[in-house]
Structure 1
Amino acid sequence: MTLWRIRATVADRPGFLSVLTASLALRGVNILTVQVHTTEAGAVDDFLVDAPAELTAADLVAAVERGRGRNCWVTRSEAQGLADQPTRVLGLASRLVRDPDALGETLRTLLSADSVTWRPHPGQDGPGHGAETMRLPDPDGGSFEVFRSAPSFTPAEYARAQALVDVAGAVARQAVDRVTLVLPDGAELAVRPAVPDDLPALRAMRERCSRRTLHRRFPAGAAPATVRLRRLLAPARGVALLAVTGGSDGRPEHVVAVANLVAEGAVAEVGLLVEDDWQRRGVGAALLRRLVAHATRAGYAALLAHVPADNVGMIRILDRLCPPGQVDRDGNLLTLTVPLTDRYAEPGLTAVPPAEPAPAGTAPVDQTSATADR
């Protein structure tokens, strides 16, 4: 017996798959696994089969066509093809968590591609796929172009590949966003992405904030309840960054600031809450700079910030980092719209804001430390 992979398009109608499998069974072909890819042209069925040794690829194609299959593709397979597909994809995702730089090779393995080429820009067509070529964004900038002569790519394969790209991007952002801030007054804070387990520490910080501080962060009403705080810590799209003290030498960790970026469509909303004792020390500027960098890396067109008119500090920080292109006023509430793509990127390129020089007398910015502005 010999292992083969067979892919064919079948009319997405009741009974048509059974006709194809019956045709294979008449030739003594045993179907080991099957995956169904839904496409506009019909259901693309991907089989791993065990066939009698005397059968050739032409025999299998003929059996598929007799079973009303079309666009048939057949190739020999190895024993590793018996691996469960979800298990295989999870294994590749686990590899990316350990080594996000292996994204190109992981995509080649996932898609059994002929080649994977990195490009320094997304390309005019942007992400997507055709019959032989798939284009995927690189979380660090640029894009991957995946080529496979046969079989044709399907939407399901593109979705799997995009999911692995998202894993690599999340891991890379976790690494980039873990830094130590050295404030102008010499104090040090750790900045890291928030996790759901940070909820008690965030509630404790909220209790330490004055009513005035809470109103400036949540001008629409009272400070949010636990359910909303939990959503702010883990937005469906976006990121939440915490500035914390302690956490080393056995000292408990205390959250002193939280910055949120919550995306909806091409626009992302930013919010910032800094504990009273840590205000006017550069913490807010440092966190917002990281949110702007995150938003431009992710390709959002603009940032929104809803700010009370008397929150002069927040307005000045935003104006210094990325001056608003539009300001709308509703009573005492200002809505600042900050365009990102047009401001920082050339057409067709992912936006990246220009680097700002560090203030004199402060520590340099690198992967493990960053200096807050005044």
Structure 2
Amino acid sequence: MTLWRIRATVDDRPGFLSVLTASLALKAVNILAVQVHTTEAGAVDDFLVDAPGSMTEADLRTAVERGRGRDAWIVPAEAEGLADEPTRALGLAARLVRDPDALGDALRALLDADTVTWRPAGPIRPGMRAGSMALPDPTGGRYDVVRTAPGFTPAEYARAQALVEVAAAAAARAADTGTLLLPDGAEITLRPATPDDLAALMAMHERCSPATRRSRYLTGDGVPTPAQLARLLDAGRVQTLVAAGPEATSVVAMANLVVEGSLAELSVIVEDGWQRRGVGTALVRRAFARAERLGSAAVLAHTGAGNPGLERTLRRLGHVVPVRRDGAVASVAVPLQGGQRTPAST
């Protein structure tokens, strides 16, 4: 089986789609799925096809043109494309119900976009152009979505808007609490910490490697005492979020915000086995959102100079800021209110 994606425009007149499909059938091309997008230029037909292994892109293009198709876009496809669009869209909507902060990733998957970039709201209003669209971020700002080819259609813009509405509804109900579904199917609960989490936090720190503890606490790699961790659970002093593992009593990551005046100092620790799986990114995203709600002007973060994790996480969230290194410590200051978030492609 050789799968291809074909998108072509035909005149929006009775019988023209059948002419195109007949031309493909003459070349033994089996159409597995088809979508029709109505545009001002005509009907844009989007096919997933199974073609003989000997057929090339040029052969398929010739068949499309003989079937009165124009502006053809033809690329090899993966088996994942066999899932129909409604099923894929519903799956992404379900993901957003669990984690509304994953809107950028969901838009990229829904639209097969090259890049999805978060920007401050700015002067550009939401809308669609041939190779790009701007969509509002329910929590502020906007997402700029770019796809080199094929150009976006009004139907795709409507789907993206619907996904934004799902994210907005989910975000309104869960500002700090949610479920993160990892690529391997594991579910992580993100929520504010409580004093009852002390034992689980002690156990997590004991499971962490000395290098991970050193990157978080900077002055040593030992396990903090119960009294030290208890101070991080004092909501009057520290805003603490945790990621709870599959077992209700387990904690696999923690983010702390210490707010002093207009500044919020952020620290994060993720258990070694859960690193580079999106857990830290999800916690940092929620910590930034909380700092903004608390009126902080900037977030300060410190980590070990040899640990690129925090810098990589900030880039994924659209914060590209200088990193200051002082011996074994790396520090960043990210402006919030009144500052500008430098966008980065996700």
TM-score by length of structure 2 reads 0.50
SS of structure 2 residue aligned to 1:108: helix
Residue deviations 1:199-251, cap 9 Å, x none?
A: xxxxxxxxxxxxxxxxxxxxxxxxxxxxxxxxxxxxxxxxxxxxxxxxxxxxx
Query: What code does the residue aligned with 1:40 have?
Result: E
Give the corresponding residue for 1:146: 145
Instruction: Give the deviation of 1:176 after TM superposition.
Output: 4.8
Matches of 2:2 and 2:119, distance apart in 1: 39
Give the corresponding residue for 2:74: 74
SS of structure 2 residue aligned to 1:113: coil
Give the corresponding residue for 1:20: 20
Matches of 2:174 and 2:112, distance apart in 1: 29
Matches of 1:126 and 1:109, distance apart in 2: 23
Give the corresponding residue for 2:281: none
Give the corresponding residue for 2:246: none
Give the corresponding residue for 1:129: 128
Matches of 2:20 and 2:127, distance apart in 1: 31
Distance 1:21 1:100, change over 3 A: same
Matches of 2:32 and 2:164, distance apart in 1: 29
Instruction: Give the deviation of 1:120 after TM superposition.
Output: 1.2
Residue deviations 1:31-55, cap 9 Å, x none?
A: 0100001111111000000000011
Q: Is 1:2–2:2 an aligned residue pair?
A: yes
Matches of 1:126 and 1:166, distance apart in 2: 17
Instruction: Give the deviation of 1:124 after TM superposition.
Output: 2.6
Give the corresponding residue for 2:158: 159
Q: Give the % identical residues.
A: 72
Matches of 1:109 and 1:15, distance apart in 2: 33
Q: How does 1:219-234 map to 2 (within 5 A)?
A: none
Matches of 1:8 and 1:71, distance apart in 2: 6
Q: Is 1:65–2:65 an aligned residue pair?
A: yes
Give the superposed CA RMSD. 1.6
Residue deviations 1:161-219, cap 9 Å, x none?
A: 110000000111122599xxxxxxxxxxxxxxxxxxxxxxxxxxxxxxxxxxxxxxxxx
Q: How does 1:1-374 map to 2 (within 5 A)?
A: 1-121=1-121, 123-176=122-175
Distance 1:59 1:120, change over 3 A: same
**Structure 1: gaps (5+ residues):** 179-345, 347-374
Matches of 2:97 and 2:56, distance apart in 1: 41
Query: What code does the residue aligned with 2:133 have?
Result: M
SS of structure 2 residue aligned to 1:109: helix
Instruction: Give the deviation of 1:85 after TM superposition.
Output: 1.1
Structure with the greater alpha carbon radius of gyration: 1
SS of structure 1 residue aligned to 2:5: strand
Q: How many residues of Structure 1 are paired with residues of Structure 2 in the alignment? A: 178
Matches of 2:134 and 2:37, distance apart in 1: 19
Instruction: Give the deviation of 1:125 after TM superposition.
Output: 3.2
Matches of 2:93 and 2:54, distance apart in 1: 38
**Structure 2: gaps (5+ residues):** 178-337, 339-346
Query: What code does the residue aligned with 1:149 have?
Result: T
Residue deviations 1:71-121, cap 9 Å, x none?
A: 100010011100021011000000000001100001000000111000011
Residue deviations 1:262-290, cap 9 Å, x none?
A: xxxxxxxxxxxxxxxxxxxxxxxxxxxxx
Matches of 2:156 and 2:123, distance apart in 1: 22
Matches of 1:107 and 1:177, distance apart in 2: 22
Matches of 1:87 and 1:26, distance apart in 2: 30
Instruction: Give the deviation of 1:129 after TM superposition.
Output: 0.9
Query: What code does the residue aligned with 1:27 have?
Result: K
Which runs of at least 4 in structure 1 moved beyond 4 Å after TM superposition? Answer: none
SS of structure 2 residue aligned to 1:90: helix
SS of structure 2 residue aligned to 1:102: helix
TM-score by length of structure 1 reads 0.46
Matches of 2:98 and 2:110, distance apart in 1: 17
Query: What code does the residue aligned with 1:49 have?
Result: V
Query: What code does the residue aligned with 2:155 have?
Result: A
Matches of 1:125 and 1:39, distance apart in 2: 23
Matches of 1:136 and 1:126, distance apart in 2: 8
